[in-house]
Amino acid sequence: MSKKVGPSRRAMLSVGLAGAATVASPGILRLTAKAENAPIKIGMPLALTGALGSVGQQLKRGAELYAKLQNAKGGILGRPIELLIEDTAGNPANCVRKAQEMVERQNCRLFTGITLSSEALAVVPKLAEWDAVFMSSDNGDGRLTAESFVPNFFRANISGPMGTRAVSLYLRSGKAQKFYALGLDYAWGHNSVQVFEDEVKKSKKDFLGKVFAPTGTKDYSSYITKIRQSGADAVFLVLQGDDNNAFLSQSQQYRLSEKVRLLTEIVDLASIRAVGDAALGLIGSSRYSFTYDYPLNNEFVALWKKEHDGAVPDTFEGEQWQAMKVLEAGITKAGGIEAAKLRPALEDIEIESVKGKVHIRKCDHQGVQQGFMVEVVKQEGIATPIPKVIATFPGESTTPKCNSMTFDD
Amino acid sequence: MTTLAFLLTESLNALSQAALLFFLGVGLTLIFGLMRIVNFAHGALYMLGAFVGYSLAKGSGNFWVALVGAPLLVGMFGAGFELTVLRRLYRRDAHAFLMVTFGLALVVGEAVRLIWGPDALQVAPPSALAGVVFLLDEPFPVYRLFLVATGIVVAVAIWQFLERSKLGLLIRATSQNADMASALGVDVKRIRSSVFGIGCALAALGGVLAAPLVTASNGMAATVIIDAFVIVIIGGMGSFLGSLIGALLVGFVQVFGNYYLPDLALAFMYLVMLAVLVVRPGGLLGKET
């Protein structure tokens, strides 16, 4: 019995208090009138620690710089941006719980930056119930815009299948015939390796085999042995964070790249810095790089350098920046952040971004954008190797069919 | 690759991993044997070793400075922590140690993030160890051979230290019966500080040596502490030889398991632990209490 009484009494009390306060104080009335100027809360339950902590940290920095600069300009629609940042340690259950808390306690209705695809897949089924919009800035798993698609989900970033497709389009003209694949043993790794396998088979080349390593693997020697034994000309890597660093460091110690070409779904600057010359020669698709030569990117890189003592932005800092810009365009067009208004506003929106044009297509909310292939090279005067763009592909050729993860040709 | 070459290189891989695991496990088990403390901060100190090693290597331009300096500094930090904090807790029950060492792990983890930043940092092996040697026509990293050698040297050194030196004798006496040792005039307090310091230094040594393989990163503490516990549980809490056997078992099971049944990579280590515990609940060389 007492359990039932508790909340209702508390609710009554708060309603009563709020009412009394409203009547008593004209100040409150001003506040209510100002509700339109209330902060725009953007929830970011990020993997700030754990094996993918470096990715979460990048997403955080990207969003923070955007919020700082945008708030200095008066925010969006005259409302300041408030980022709600929490650490999930990369655990899907944690992520859902933190997001739920943001919805219930802080009345948050916007999400971005959720780090792992497994976390994103856990969150999307709840979006309708929360009446919240989630703008992905780094989730790779193709299912998020295919079988697991929900209307309140949008993806501003290049997905795993899109990155993989750029690699496979690039390989069609290359000499390598026999391929092997190594992916991280979770949603994104399996998804991208599958797409790669299909692409290789379609282009009538040999797919020799694949293997998956659990996140947090410290010793990659067994996997390196497998790759060497496969007899492949090239290995396709779907690795990230600490695992990527461990693999690249160890494969260099084994001189693996002298025998097998290293291809990767994602070339990430933080990883290049962490492994140094071990990244040289790596060829892969890139989701963002400071080396892209577009006016808006040059502007963004300059802003970033000014803010961060001359450092250049990393992959996910750029991706998060783009996601914020898409979100901003949508909110401005919708005139608010309510899902019912924001959703149609974001559908079919097109903005000029750091990577050229990004068009959020209506059918599955994927941001259609160019695909980039880069090679990690040494440049005069810079100690750390940099990703150099070696090919670009139009968004139409790298984006899968609507609500799917496959490609026609 | 011939079968023989495969077995040889994979066994060496397993030994190199076992060496890294041994540095962790032996420190943990020495500390437990003497003080009945489960040191939850062991993984964090391993990570601290890697980051201190990074700074020393970068500052001096010499990996060997890092290899000696990082364990020394982290060991001193550990001994200092025992002197100032743990010492006050010996009369309390074991929960106090769990809380305090877990707290230390959190503090060290955050401190590393604040001092060195969130990104992984490169620690390159020294140029003398950066190459490959050909074993039965297969290239094998010299650095991994160096890890195996270091593992053997450290294991023999610890064994000789425990068996032959005066301090080693006192450590064994204190871990068998602290009250009796104290009554016979052994300075138990000093022994505890030294052993905690040595344990922490060994963890840091593991961290510095692992850094060229995995880079120095914030995530390294979390992934490694579980392995260390598994080794100690397999070998028997408090047993030096047990931690050596545990490290070898886990090293071989991980390397060969990852090769033959990669889908079960994570489960293997626990299956071995389970099997050992079913047969010998106190661990292979532990006391069944």
DSSP, residue by residue, A66-83: HHHHHHHTT-BTTB-EEE
Q: Does residue A40 belong to any structural domain of this protein? A: yes
Q: Which helix (H) or strand (E) holds A112?
A: strand A110-112
Q: Which of B20, B144, B223 to mutate to test the interface with A (most CBs of A within 10 A)?
A: B223
Same domain, A301 and A221: no
Give the pLDDT mean for A284-312: 94
Same domain, A207 and A329: no
Confidence of residue A344 (pLDDT cuts 50, 70, 90): very high
State residue B232's pLDDT score.
92
State residue A26's pLDDT score.
45
Is residue B7 within 8 angstroms of chain A, CB to CB?
Answer: no
Dist. CA A91–CA A52, nearest whole Å? 11
Is the pLDDT confidence value at B64 over 90? yes
Same domain, A225 and A115: no
Task: Return the amino acid letter for B168.
Answer: G
Is the pLDDT confidence value at A260 over 50? yes
The secondary structure of chain B, three-state, reads CCHHHHHHHHHHHHHHHHHHHHHHHHHHHHHHHHHCCCCCCHHHHHHHHHHHHHHHHHHHCCHHHHHHHHHHHHHHHHHHHHHHCHHHHCCCCHHHHHHHHHHHHHHHHHHHHHHHCCCCECCCCCHHHCCEEEECCEEEEHHHHHHHHHHHHHHHHHHHHHHHCHHHHHHHHHHHCHHHHHHCCCCHHHHHHHHHHHHHHHHHHHHHHHHHHHCECCCHHHHHHHHHHHHHHHHCCCCHHHHHHHHHHHHHHHHHHHHHCHHHHHHHHHHHHHHHHHHCCCCCCCCCC
B37-76: buried (b, 16+ CB within 10 Å) or exposed (e) per residue?
bbbbbbbbbbbbbbbbbbbbbeeeeebeebbebbbbbbbe
The C-alpha R_g of chain A, in whole angstroms, comes to 23
Same domain, A182 and A240: yes
State residue B223's pLDDT score.
80
Instruction: Pick the residue from chain A with its C-alpha nearest to B5.
Output: A225
Give the pLDDT mean for B137-153: 95
A81: domain CATH number is 3.40.50.2300
Same domain, A349 and A386: no
Residues of A in contact with B214 (CB under 8 A): 218, 242, 245-246, 249
Q: Are B123 and B57 in contact (CB under 8 A)?
A: yes
Same domain, A144 and A99: yes
| Residues contacting A30, CB < 8 A, separation 6+ | none
Same domain, A275 and A347: no
Residues of A in contact with B224 (CB under 8 A): 218
Q: Does residue A174 belong to any structural domain of this protein? A: yes
| Residues contacting B76, CB < 8 A, separation 6+ | B197
| Residues contacting A229, CB < 8 A, separation 6+ | B1, B6
Please give the residue range of the domain that contains residue A186: 161-286+370-398
Same domain, A217 and A344: no
Lowest mean pLDDT among A31-40, A137-146, A377-386, B54-63: A31-40
Give the pLDDT mean for A297-304: 96
Q: Does residue A110 belong to any structural domain of this protein? A: yes
Lowest mean pLDDT among A144-158, A235-249, B7-21, B261-275: B261-275
- Total number of domains in chain A: 2
Q: Which two tokens stand for residue B44?
A: 């964090």
Lowest mean pLDDT among A95-104, A323-332, B221-230: B221-230
Q: Does residue A211 belong to any structural domain of this protein? A: yes
Same domain, A265 and A179: yes
Q: Does residue A194 belong to any structural domain of this protein? A: yes
Q: Does residue A172 belong to any structural domain of this protein? A: yes
Question: Within a 10 A sphere around the Cβ of A189, how many other Cβ atoms?
Answer: 28
Residues of B in contact with A273 (CB under 8 A): 119-120, 122
* Phi and psi at residue A206, to the nearest 5°: -95, 130
Same domain, A69 and A123: yes
Task: Give me the residue label for tokens 């503090």.
Answer: B107
Surface of A (205-244) touching B: CB under 8 A: 211-214, 216-219, 221-223, 225-226, 228-229, 241-242
Q: Are B15 and B146 in contact (CB under 8 A)?
A: no
State residue B1's pLDDT score.
76
Same domain, A258 and A391: yes
Give the pLDDT mean for B140-163: 96
**Percent residues over pLDDT 90 in chain A:** 78
State residue A100's pLDDT score.
97
Give chain B's domains with CATH numbers.
Answer: 3-279 (1.10.3470)
Confidence of residue A35 (pLDDT cuts 50, 70, 90): low
Rounded to a whole number, what is the largest CA-CA distance in chain B? 62
Mean confidence (pLDDT) of chain A: 90
Same domain, A223 and A103: no
Separation in Å, CA of A217 to nearest CA in chain B: 8
Q: Does residue A17 belong to any structural domain of this protein? A: no
Confidence of residue A111 (pLDDT cuts 50, 70, 90): very high
Is the pLDDT confidence value at A30 over 90? no
State residue A36's pLDDT score.
67
Q: Does residue A24 belong to any structural domain of this protein? A: no
Q: Are B9 and B140 in contact (CB under 8 A)?
A: yes
Is residue A311 within 8 angstroms of chain B, CB to CB?
Answer: no
Q: Do B223 and A51 touch (CB under 8 A)?
A: yes
Give the pLDDT mean for A394-398: 94
Instruction: Pick the residue from chain B with its C-alpha nearest to A384.
Output: B122
Task: Name which of B121, B130, B259 is nearest A222 (Cβ-Cβ).
Answer: B259
Q: Is A276 in a helix, a strand, or coil?
A: helix
Task: Return the amino acid letter for A235.
Answer: V
DSSP secondary structure code for residue A202 in this structure: H
Helices marked H in A124-240: 127-130, 160-172, 187-202, 221-230
| Residues contacting A216, CB < 8 A, separation 6+ | A50, A51, A242, A243, B219, B222, B223
Q: Do B218 and A222 touch (CB under 8 A)?
A: no
